Amino acid sequence: MTEMLTSAQSDATQASPRVYDVVIAGGGMAGSMLALALTQRCPTLTIAIVEQHAETSPKASFDSRSIALSAGSVQLLQQFGIWDKLAPFGCPIMDIAVSDRGHFGKTWLSAAEYRVPALGQVIEVEHVGAVLAEQLAAAPQLTRWQPKQISALRRSDTSAQLTLNDGTVLETRLLVIAEGGQSATRQLVAVPQQETPYAQTAIIANLALAQRHQNKAFERFTEYGPIALLPLTNNRYSLVWTVPPAEADALLALSESDFLAKVQQAFGYRAGVFSGCGKRAAYPLVLRQSPQVVSHRAALLGNSLHSLHPIAGQGFNLALRDIDCLSALLAQADNEVGSYAQLRQYELARQADMQRVIWLTDALVRTFSNRSRLVALARNLGLFAMLMCDDLKTPLARQTMGFGAQYAKS
C-alpha cells in the first residue's frame, strides 16, 4: 500500500516512527525486484519502499529500453516467482555472434552447443515494471512511501532511523540502497564512489527488421566502442550503439531513414536490412563503483553499488545476483537482519563476482576501443582462437549465460 499522510498524521509519525524490518531506498528495477524476492523468501519480514516518483509518473528505470537476461538470471527470476508472467514478453537468444569490424577476428556462441534452452532472454524494461507492480501490489507486508525521499539518517547499534523529506520518520533494522548510480541516500551513509568516464555515449533504439532475426544477437566491436543488436519479440532488434559523445546529438536529430542508413553503414548487413526505428535516446557511459558493499545497518546493490558499461550486457544480471545473495542471507537468519555478521557475509559473498565482472567489462571496453595495430592483432587472434577451440571459448560462454565458475560444458 502507499502511505498518504495528513500534516497531523505526519507530526504523530515523527513522535512514533513507523518500524520495518527492511527499508529499500529506490523503487526501480533493482529495488522492486529485491522487494519481490523478500516477499517470496522472507514472508514474515515487514518491508517498505521509499520511492521519489509518484505512482502515476513515468519512472526512468522503467522506460522503453531492453535488458538482456542471462540464462542464470532467468533461473533466478523463476525462483522469485515472476518469470512465468515475464516469459510472454521475452525473446530467447539462441546464438551470439562476436566480431571486430574491419578485422578477421570473430567467434560464435550457440545454445545448442552448450545444451541449454537459450543463452538468455531479451525483454523490454517497461514490461518488467508492469509485472513487478502487479506482483507487489498483492504483498500485504509491503508498504510504499512515495513520492518521498530520504533526507536524513541516524543510526544506532540496532537500527537506522530515516527522516523523509516531509518529516515522516521510519525505523528499520536494515536499509538497502537501490536508487541507481546517482544515489542521494548512498551519500547519507557516507559510502564513497569511484567514477571513470569512458568518453563514449550509447544510442539506444528499437529497430524493425525486413527479415526474420532467427533469435540471433550480435556484438560488433568498432574503434569507437561496441554495437550490440539484441533480438526482441515481433521481429525487432534492440540497438545499443556506442559513439563518440560529439556525434550523439547529430545522430538523434537525423530523420528515421537517415538514422537507419547510418546504423546500416556502421554495422553492415550481417543482421539483415533495418526497415524501421522507434524512439531514440542517448546515455553517457561511465563506470561507477563503490569500494564498500555495506555500511552500518545499510547495504548497497545494483547501480548504487556498480554502474557498468553495457558491453556484454552484464549490469542488471550482476544486480540480480546481488538481490539473490542478500535475500537468501536474510531468509537464513531473519532474526539477525542488518547485523554486522550478516552484512559482512553479504559483502564477502559478492566481492569476487563484482570484481570479476567489473574487470571484464572494463577490459573489453579498453581493449576493443584501442586503435593500436598490435592490440588489434592480439584481440583478433584471441577471438579466432576461441572460434577454433571450445575450451578457450567456455569461460566466455559461462559468463554470458550468468553461471560463472559454477558452469561447466557437458
pLDDT at 5: 42
Q: In the predicted model, is pLDDT for residue 144 greater than 80?
A: yes
If pLDDT is split at 50, 70 and 90, which confidence band does 388 have?
A: very low
pLDDT at 407: 32
Q: In the predicted model, is pLDDT for residue 379 greater than 60?
A: no
Q: Which residue has the higher pLDDT, 199 or 327?
A: 327
Q: In the predicted model, is pLDDT for residue 384 greater than 80?
A: no
| Distance, C-alpha 393 to centroid of its chain | 24
pLDDT at 116: 85
If pLDDT is split at 50, 70 and 90, which confidence band does 53 have?
A: confident
pTM of the model as a whole: 0.85
pLDDT at 140: 95
Q: Which residue has the higher pLDDT, 392 or 254?
A: 254
Span 345-372, average pLDDT: 78
Q: In the predicted model, is pLDDT for residue 91 greater than 80?
A: yes
Note every long-range contact of 1-4, with CB atoms under 8 Å and residues 24 or more positions apart, other chains counting.
1/142, 1/143, 1/144, 2/55, 2/143, 2/144, 2/145, 2/146, 3/143, 3/144, 3/145, 3/168
Nearest to 313 by CA among 131, 31, 104, 96: 96
Q: In the predicted model, is pLDDT for residue 32 greater than 80?
A: yes
pLDDT at 365: 72
pLDDT at 7: 40
Span 95-100, average pLDDT: 82
Q: What cell does 176 get?
A: 538497502
pLDDT at 181: 84
pLDDT at 23: 98
Q: In the predicted model, is pLDDT for residue 89 greater than 60?
A: yes
| Residue ranges of domains in the chain | 7-65+127-194+287-363
Rounded Cα distance, 172 and 151, in Å: 15
If pLDDT is split at 50, 70 and 90, which confidence band does 122 have?
A: very high
pLDDT at 101: 59
If pLDDT is split at 50, 70 and 90, which confidence band does 401 have?
A: low
| Residues written for the chain | 410
What class is the 7-65+127-194+287-363 domain? alpha beta
Span 78-82, average pLDDT: 94
Least confident of 39-43, 55-59, 175-179, 223-227: 55-59
DSSP 102: T
pLDDT at 360: 76
Q: In the predicted model, is pLDDT for residue 105 greater than 70?
A: no
- For 46-193, list the strands marked E by DSSP: 47-50, 66-70, 91-93, 95-100, 106-110, 120-124, 142-145, 150-155, 160-164, 169-177
* Distance (Å) of CA 408 to CA 311, 352, 385: 23, 19, 19
Span 232-247, average pLDDT: 92
pLDDT at 98: 82
Q: Which residue has the higher pLDDT, 203 or 371?
A: 203
* DSSP 3-state of 234: coil
Span 312-336, average pLDDT: 91
Q: In the predicted model, is pLDDT for residue 95 greater than 60?
A: yes
Cα angle 202, 208, 213; round to 5 = 95
